[in-house]
Structure 1
Amino acid sequence: MPTHYRYQLGTHLYQFASLAEVMAKASPLRSGDQLAGVAAQSAEERVVAQMVLAELPLTVFLNEALIPYEQDEVTRLIIDEHDAEAFMTIAHLTVGDFRNWLLQETTTAVELARIQSGVTPEMAAAVSKIMRNQDLILVAKKCHVVTQFRNTIGLSGHLSTRLQPNHPTDDINGIAASIFDGLMYGNGDAVIGINPATDNVKQATKLMHLMDDVIQHYEIPTQSCVLTHVTNTIEAIELGAPVDLVFQSIAGTESTNQGFGINLNLLAEAHDAALSLKRGTVGHNVMYFETGQGSALSANGHHGIDQQTCEARAYAVARKFDPLLVNTVVGFIGPEYLFDGKQITRAGLEDHFCGKLLGLPMGCDICYTNHADADQNDMDNLLTLLGVAECSFIMGIPGSDDIMLNYQTTSFHDALYARQVLGLRPAPEFDTWLKKMQIAPSDSHTQLCDTLPPSFARPLQFIQEV
């Protein structure tokens, strides 16, 4: 056993069999790691593991793969595309030193951008495990990640939203009503994105046409997405459907991604297909990925690695394809993986930090299931913290309640709260459109008009006609 995985505390010698065990036991407590049997057995063991982790050189993550190179294509992606030159700035540091370097006032967005391609997901996960919540917020705020399709997302001082108009029967009028409701609240600049209740190519194409008709008719500087399987989207592209963004849920291990029915080659095919459409007006970021702590464990594809490290590895997959949007659906899997509001809050801040440190346009579905020990006040807290950390986007859903997916998340007016209290604005092109359409007063970035503007007269009649 390597001596650097041992720690003498008084008369007790703590021993960790591997880097994976150190990482797992250094993680803040969460129910998923307990379920997997990899969590620290006590608070003392957790602190000892964090102390051991803090003393490890960052180079150890290049020399000891948590999942063997030969067994996992995500590991191969991480190792093969590691930028040794970008890493040189921090190559001499330990995990603890890396934390200190990240927190220094002299470490600015420029320095953070310079090292992005030299940081592996495991390095990001490791340093997050020894950071307080305020550390995660501070560093994430310093990371600037900007992406573009029909508008510009991720600029400092801005907060975008995904307008999520899901309906339990995919009723067109119900979806349309939610779309216009969300637009009236200034939501939808990140994407208008629908989870279809009936997941097939025919239904996905129908929903794509609906959203495209609305966007084109009202000249909305935003993009649409049907959150169907990537193979359905590829087929829809071949059939001539108006595809803006390609969606896919991804994970941090090859075996979990196989459970999703995907691999890196399939994602590359979808990426190329979407680019070939040339539908972007100000940029060409065409992918939308969703992740979530616990997915690898639920698929029995975690290889004994803690769930937060598995989650960070998913960001290597996302980073490969220059996405417009990435979001962690942080509390969606349930209390088996994140038990309560405290664990959900910590996980959301970790995911956002790791994603932005790795150069991703990170958003968060600030959510919980009805059987979790959490409530909407917990979500308000996480929303506020992520707003301070300059999260790229959040979800906007009628009444915070997704009646199709049956979980609780953030509402249209929650985005207004965050923008108003933190002085944030929508994407600049969308902000201009809100004023042009008289949805927002011309002299305000956070307040909306209290009457239906003439430009939106009889919107449901328009939807029924098209």
Structure 2
Amino acid sequence: MKLKTNLFGQTYSFNDVKEVLAKANEEKSGDMLAGIAASGNVERVAAKVVLADMTLKDLRENPVVSYEEDDITRADQDAVSDTVYQQIKGYTVGEFREFLLREPPEKLRAVRPGLTAEMVAGVTKLMSNMDLVYAARKLPVEATCNTTIGRPGTLSSRLQPNHATDNPAGIMASVMEGISYGVGDAVIGLNPAVDTIDSVASILREFDAFMQKWQIPTQNCVLAHVTTQMKVLEKNLAPMDLMFQSLAGSETASRAFGINVSLMDEAYAIMREKKNSAGENFMYFETGQGSELSSDGHHGADQLVMEARCYAFAKRYHPFLVNTVVGFIGPEYLYDGRQMIRAGLEDHFMGKLTGIPMGCDVCYTNHMRADQNDLENLAMMLAMADCNYIMGIPGGDDVMLMYQTTSYHDVASLRRLTGKKPIDEFARRMQELEILDEAGNLTAKAGDPSLFFTGNETLSGGMAV
């Protein structure tokens, strides 16, 4: 394996595969702060040249965290199909890029079982933004909970009705408004301000009652810590369609989230037994470049490689939803709109290549050098790439998490631009409620939550409806 190259009369040498991967990464503020980024564009190109000549075998045999010390490395490596791996291990990373861009979708799907996270990350570093969109579009992934996400011609959305105090009336007001815009076919999913068993169970019951009363074909989820959700299930306190957890790309970083592979295996088993949903995919995960650096759990590897390892972790549990919260951690890891856009395209492509149903929370924090135009540019490119779903939040401004993301109106606009619709069953119900027309566009009645006011009920918290 060659770890050096000559450019412009200068020799660039690298110590190991991990350093090549880090310095071949596109510019990210997180890698720079960690002291592992290329010194400039020329060294970055040199690292890409070296990476392009490495084989997939080189990447598999040199994981950025060793098999012996990391449970995610073990989960990733043990899941590889040796039959498929033997067929592709001799490809150089450069040849693998050409394969992904050249071959039809069925051939791309066939290689997924032979890949490790380092292979997925390595080829991503050689791709342009257009490459990432073009190849991801050839990598559809479907999954079924109560309904099926990822089918051709669909763009789904998570209705995120967050509330600063978890007031049930405020939460349900946002749910009603979101549904009135045709948002929520991926999931009605709340980030709780209060992570307690009783609060989580109460909100899940509210969601389920609304879904049952109005016959809304979707899924529910409260994004509490996985241990809280496990206790809700163990006590049979509420119907749960999806179980959630944030993931990291190393055992050390996972420990900062209060999880490991063993715990997630246990959570998966409990959910499989007690889930309220009908399908075989009932887990929901969120990720985002930089979390391993923030917890000092990156083992000297760059944030893109660590993100790819999150997807290998997620794949173990056959999820219904995975999304990168791409700009949420802030400028310490993605400094500006350009880095945010690149990371969103990378993450979406890597998730699809790994074989998971990938979405994106197209977002940024208010202290990043990014704005609404950056957000909309990324959202449009992801829609072109057949991203499974994005977020729908009132005004695109989350009042609990305090960040900027996509609004109910953005979801409608992207569907109109691309000709895509919500999941079929959801779209039909929206037509019955006269929220969408047969073409999937919003009607004159859309955006009016009074559709769901009966006048003779009171939600928890005292809000008459």
TM-score range with shorter-chain normalisation?
over 0.9
Q: CA deviation at 1:279?
A: 2.3
Q: Deviations over 1:381-423 (max 9, x none)?
A: 0000000000000000000000100000000110001000011
> Equivalent residue of 2:56, what SS?
coil
Q: CA deviation at 1:299?
A: 0.3
Correspondence for 2:70: 72
Check if 1:252 corresponds to 2:238: no
State how 1:169-318 maps to structure 2 within 5 Å: 169-240=165-236, 241-281=238-278, 283-318=279-314
Q: CA deviation at 1:278?
A: 4.7
Identity of aligned residues (%): 47
Q: TM-score, normalised by structure 1?
A: 0.96
Runs of 4 or more consecutive aligned structure 1 residues displaced over 6 Å after TM superposition: none
Alpha-carbon distance in structure 2 between the residues aligned to 1:337 and 1:460: 50
Distance 1:102 1:300, change over 3 A: same
Correspondence for 1:13: 11
Alpha-carbon distance in structure 2 between the residues aligned to 1:213 and 1:152: 21
State how 1:12-411 maps to structure 2 within 5 Å: 12-104=10-102, 107-240=103-236, 241-281=238-278, 283-411=279-407
Alpha-carbon distance in structure 2 between the residues aligned to 1:168 and 1:242: 24
**Aligned-residue CA RMSD (Å):** 1.5
Distance 1:250 1:453, change over 3 A: closer
Residues matched between the structures, number? 460
Amino acid at match of 2:422: P
Alpha-carbon distance in structure 1 between the residues aligned to 2:109 and 2:99: 14
Q: CA deviation at 1:449?
A: 3.6
CA contact (8 A) 1:185 1:416 kept: yes
> Equivalent residue of 1:402, what SS?
coil
Alpha-carbon distance in structure 1 between the residues aligned to 2:431 and 2:65: 51
> Equivalent residue of 2:416, what SS?
helix
Amino acid at match of 1:450: K
Alpha-carbon distance in structure 2 between the residues aligned to 1:47 and 1:459: 65
Alpha-carbon distance in structure 2 between the residues aligned to 1:237 and 1:190: 22
Distance 1:343 1:6, change over 3 A: same
Q: CA deviation at 1:86?
A: 2.0
Q: CA deviation at 1:67?
A: 1.0
Amino acid at match of 2:41: A
Alpha-carbon distance in structure 2 between the residues aligned to 1:68 and 1:92: 22
Q: CA deviation at 1:88?
A: 3.7
Alpha-carbon distance in structure 2 between the residues aligned to 1:121 and 1:64: 11
Gaps of 5+ in 2: none
Amino acid at match of 2:28: R
Say which is worse superposed, 131-140 or 59-68, in terms of deviation. 59-68
Gaps of 5+ in 1: none
CA contact (8 A) 2:181 2:442 kept: no
Amino acid at match of 2:168: I
